[in-house]
Structures are given as C-alpha cells and as structure tokens.
Amino acid sequence: MLGNRRHTRIGWAIVFSIFLLGGLYAAALSKAPAPAVPSASASASLSPLPGHADAQKEVLQRLRREHFRTIACDDALASKLLDRYLEDLDPARSFLLQSDIDEFAPYRTSLDEALQAADLEPAFSIFNRFQQRRIERLEAVIGRLRAGTADMDFTRDEEIEAERTDAPWIQSPAELEQLWEKRLKLSVLNLLLAGTDPEAAREQLLKRFANQLRLVQQTNSEDAFQIYMNSLTRCYDPHTQYFSPRTSENFNISMRLSLEGIGAVLSGEDEYTKVVSLVPGGPADKSKLLAPADRIIGVGQGADAELQDVVGWRLDDVVELIRGPKGTVVRLEVLPAGVEDMHKTRKIAIERSTVTLEDQAARKTVLPVERGGRTYRIGIIALPTFYLDFQALQAGDPGYKSTSKDVDRLLKELTGEHIDGLVLDLRDNGGGSLQEAVDLSGKFLRYGPVVQVRNARRDIEVMRDSDHRSSYDGPLLVVVNRLSASASEIVAGVLQDYGRAVIFGSQTFGKGTVQSLVPLAHGQLKATMAAFYRVSGDSTQYRGIIPDIAYPSLVDPAEIGESALADALPWDTIDAVAFPRCSDLTAAIVRLNSLHARRMQHDPDYRYLVRLEQHLRSLSARKSVSLSRARREREQAEVERARLDIENQLRAAKHLPLFENYAEIEKERVSDNETSAPDALVAEAAHILIDALTAPDRDRITGYCSLTGGALLPGRFAETIRAQAGTP
C-alpha cells in the first residue's frame, strides 16, 4: 500500500527490539488456518477504561515537569496534538473525509482544556470515527475483491500518488471510492508483476484485507488510549513514548540481558513494519540479508513455511510472529530499501539466536598498504557497540567485559605489532553505555572533559577523562556513517574537537538526547530528560557529527536519522568548556581532502557508490506510480538497464566478469547499505592516514597530544611519546 515512507508513525509505531523471549504465540499462529473473511458489521464504540484518566493526568504532569523540552499546555499544543493524532491514525489520508476533519476542528482550541481536566472524550470520539471509516472501507474492499478483479483495466495510462501525507483530505465518499480503487489496482498490479497469477493475487489480497479487518475489529480501548498518549508525547520529541501495560511487558523483555530473536529494531510506518536498525552481532546483522529502512511484508515460521501477509498489521502483532526461541528459523518477505519497484520483494530466512557480549565485542585487524615502495601497517579496531557487563561488574568479577577494557587490550596488541596508524571504525554503532564512551575517549586523550550533559532544569554535568594516561598517541582516524549514533557521536565529537583525530565517512545519526524509563500506575513513560553537548558547546542532536572528509553513503538521510523524525529536538549550543586542544587540523584537513578527492577520481568503488546513490535517490524522488502494466514494465526495464550498467562499470574496472542481465545481479545482491563494501571505505581510510604520515608537516597533522595537551609531539607510538616526556 501507499503512504509516506519518510516519517515514523509513533502513535501506532512503538519501536520494539525483536530480541524477545518465548515464541508459543508465534508458533500457534503459524499453525492456525487462514482467517475467514469477517462479515460486515458495525464497530462498537470504544470508551476510556478505569485508570485511563489518571494515567493521562500522570503522563501530562511528568512531561510538563521532567521533559527536556518545555511546552505550555495551551491552544498551540492543542492544535499540534490534533494534527499529530490525525497523522498517527490516518497518515496516508485515505480513510477520514474532509467533513470528519471539519467536525473535529473545535478540538484545535479545546484539547488543552481536555488534557488538563483528564477528559478523554474528544480522543475516543475521534478514534471511534476513524474506526468506523476504516471498517467501512475494508469491508468495501473485501466486497470488491469478492466480486472479482477481471474488470480491472491495466492498459489505461493512469497514476496514483506515491505519498499522500501532504495531500488534501478526501472531499466525498465518491472521491474516496476512486482513491481506493486505484490503491487496490496497485496492489493487484504489484502481484501480477511479481509473477502471481490473477486469481492467486485476488485470493492473497482478500486474505490480506480480511486479516486487517479482523485486527481492526479486535482493537480495544487500551489501543486507542496508547495511540492518543503517543500523539501527545510525540509533540515533545520522537523518542518520548507511552507504553501501555502490554507494550511495557514487551519493551521490558527486549531490554533483558538474555535476548533471543533476529536482532532487529522495528517500527510501524503507515501499513508496513520497517527496520530501524540492526543489533550488532545479532542474527540479522550477521546474515547481511536485512538492512535499515527495509520493510517486512510477510512472516513465516520455519525454513519452508508459508508466508503470512502482515501488511496493515499492528506492530506488536508482527513482533509476536517474528520473535521465537533460539535455533528456530523465521522466514521474512522484505521490500528492500531503495528497491527499484514495489513488486521487487525478497524472501529471506534467518535463524533466531542469542546475542552475547562476545558477538558485540571490539575486534582488530592489521591492513598492510603499499605506498612509495614501503609497506605501511594500519591497525583497524571495529567497534559495533558500547557494551559493559553490568552483572559481572556488580558481582566484583575483575574479568568483566567492557568496551574500554577490550579496546585498551587491542591497542596494546596493535602497538606491539608496530602499526603506523589506527582506524577506529564506528560505523553502524548505535551507542550504548555513556560511561564506556567517556572511558574509550580517554584511551586517546591524556586528560580533559569529554562530554557535557544538560538536564531539563538546565543544570550541566561535565564528564571527564582524568587519569592523565592514554593507550595510544599515534595517528588516528575515526570512521562514521549515518547509523553511528549517541555514544559513537560523543567519541567522534570529542576527538574532532580536540584535534586528536580526522573524522571520515558520512554525517552521523544525530541522536543527542537521553531517555529515562518512568514507571506509571498504568504502563510506563520513556521520556527525554537530558541532552548531550560537545566540549565545544555544540549539540550532537539533530546534526550529528559532520565528517572532516566525506564519503558517499547509500543510507538515505531522509529515511534514517534524527532529521528524518518529526518533532525532533533542534540543534543548539551552550558555552564551551575549557579543554586542552591537541592541535588545529584545519590546514591539514584541507590538504587531506585534496589528496582524497584526487584519489577518488579514479577509485572504482567510490565512483560506483556515487552512481548508485544518485540512481537510488532518483527512484525515491518519484511522486507517482503508474497503474499501466506496459508502462511499469518499460520503466522497470529502464531501471534494470541503468542498474546493470552501474554494476558492470564497477566489475569492468576490477576486471571481473560482467553480468549478462539484471537477474544475475539479483542472485548476488546483498543489502543495499554502505557495509556492502566495507573494504573500500577502510582502504581509503588507511590511505588518508598515510597521507598524514608522509606530509612534510607531519608533526602538525598527525594529531599527537602532549602531556600538557598544548602542542603536538612527533613519534610513532605511545611509548615514544612517553619516553620523550620523561614519564614511565
């Protein structure tokens, strides 16, 4: 189905980590027969349950007292809340009529009074109207499918909007009927283009909409209350969420240390279940079959199980299907991010497993690079997440695992292997322990502040590295991408501010806020309580970290990242804190960028990424979709020819056999994200380090920090620096 793919619908879409225990419910569903088509019936009106009014009052009080963003409960909030609620209920504007919106207009200046009085009648009145419209429309679609689809004309050159978020509300039932006829035609056409015969396509869609109607008719007052509360929390920021008692249980399961599943963080977006991120070291991450922004449209239990269509399902019901015990297999039908056409789905199978700290641990390699008749040895430390074994630490186990301890050990090993420079790879690292981020930064700094944390009362805490020791003082480059977030941004930011490292890659996620889980009498509230700031005073929120040297990314920032989320807190600044700057790398960065750009003119991997990025962006920019089968087939052939040309240019440059057709690309295809070719990025990172090492002014550009933190000292290893300074 259609809708806006650029905005996460927090009302319906509480984000879950699919590392959930159990699986009995999923197994039971997999054995259940296909649901019968529900008979047409009117929807019973829902009303608030006992405890909802008190819960709403408590949520509002907590938000007003403790949230980082201060918002007055006035007409402005009422208007914004109404807009968010309507967006969360009907994001594609395909159920409600303009007459409904007009009827709700008085709430634009009265929802604030209703909030303060804990009056939920307006919320349930809107929800019940939406339920009525949904059931009417689904029953009409089911009736249309029962009558058959043989009369659908796929020769007409007509189109349907690709996104309707900003479209005007439907004016009349007749106009709504026309829209849904086009939507249904698109669904049928997608299946036909995928090779499904007409009758099988009709049966599959009949089952899909019957399932949707069944789920709609099972919607209860708790669901309605949660959606409304999340429309309220979304007025504050996208990371503040209300969890109903059932959702709280799922969330708490996902946060336990022993987690089983596929390792994907999911959200609901319009009628799809969307992959937000992958848990480092998890089954999905290891498989390379799933990527952020992919959409899951079918789920099956077992390697050969029949796939169950989950388009239009509630997120928590999809969660129940995907989760399961270790060792079992879940099949998924996926619409990949950046897919050339909406019918180009992929079927994958992932074995559920338990992620351990070992799966997420830092790891090292040494990359030899030939340059000017010499072999340089570049150390690489890949860090998937910031981890800390809290249980072992609390038990007093001296062998507890942590990011900083593991990296310290790896740095000693790499120093013993006589590396010439170090690459710290923080790509796809979504964060983790804040203290570990501070401790890790200290491995590359002698002392000084690392990050500022400002709370809702505007009090500022400065977290520091104060041991006057570092584990590595040599040339350092940090690699980041759009999926580097939170703690990763703290580390990259402080090393950039100190002039200690060159930052290479793409703009990071921009997650610069801190959330706390607040228990309520009815459910839980996850609220944004604080924000991170760099030592320079710049926020890491929204903008993230801007690399010193850029590299193209296939992750679309309009799809993934803080700036892609509605109502994200803005970037801002506070006063800088005094810190011992290692060096000013401004001039060095200019030179390194020039050398990098010259090298990239002839680099096949770089040119491939640029071409592929442009290709995918042009596809995502399309405003409409054709309902003509012949035109869609022509467009698809053109897109496939363009993609084949891009792939074969890369293969020709690398002296590899060329693909004969697009089907061969599909056969070898992996997830379209920048980790598809990690060696190219790491190899260029190594060359940038060598550029720094071989520069005439290497003492000013390699980033060494002195014991006093004021100037750079030459030398290859930490031991050399310490010897020059006369320290043990």
Write out the catalytic residue numbers: 486, 497, 511
**563, exposed or middle or buried, with CB in 10 Å at 0-12, 13-18, 19+?**
middle
Q: How many angstroms separate the CA atoms of 47 and 39, rounded?
A: 24
Q: For residue 326, which of 305, 355, 306 has the smallest C-alpha distance?
A: 355
Question: 3-state DSSP call for residue 421?
Answer: strand
Question: 3-state DSSP call for residue 675?
Answer: helix
User: Which DSSP category does 432 fall into?
Assistant: B
Q: How many angstroms separate the CA atoms of 115 and 122, rounded?
A: 10
Contact (CB, 8 A) for 461 and 452: yes
User: Which DSSP category does 272 fall into?
Assistant: E
Q: How many CB atoms lie within 10 A of CB 42?
A: 9
Q: How many angstroms separate the CA atoms of 343 and 195, rounded?
A: 9
Q: How many angstroms separate the CA atoms of 81 and 128, rounded?
A: 17
Q: How many angstroms separate the CA atoms of 188 and 197, rounded?
A: 10
Q: How many angstroms separate the CA atoms of 70 and 676, rounded?
A: 42
Q: How many angstroms separate the CA atoms of 68 and 70, rounded?
A: 6
**Nearest-5° angle of CA 338, CA 340, CA 342?**
90
**Main-chain dihedrals φ then ψ at residue 522, nearest 5 degrees:** -135, 90
**417, exposed or middle or buried, with CB in 10 Å at 0-12, 13-18, 19+?**
exposed
Contact (CB, 8 A) for 534 and 491: no
User: Residue 665 contacts by C-beta under 8 Å, 6 or more apart in sequence?
Assistant: 643, 644, 647, 659
CA dihedral for 478, 483, 489, 491, sign (positive or negative): negative
Question: 3-state DSSP call for residue 502?
Answer: strand
Copy the structure tokens of residue 73.
């409960």
CA dihedral for 155, 159, 162, 163, sign (positive or negative): negative
Q: How many angstroms separate the CA atoms of 444 and 407, rounded?
A: 11
Largest CA-CA distance found in the chain, in angstroms, rounded: 88
> Which residue bears the tokens 């592929």?
612
Q: How many angstroms separate the CA atoms of 429 and 479, rounded?
A: 11
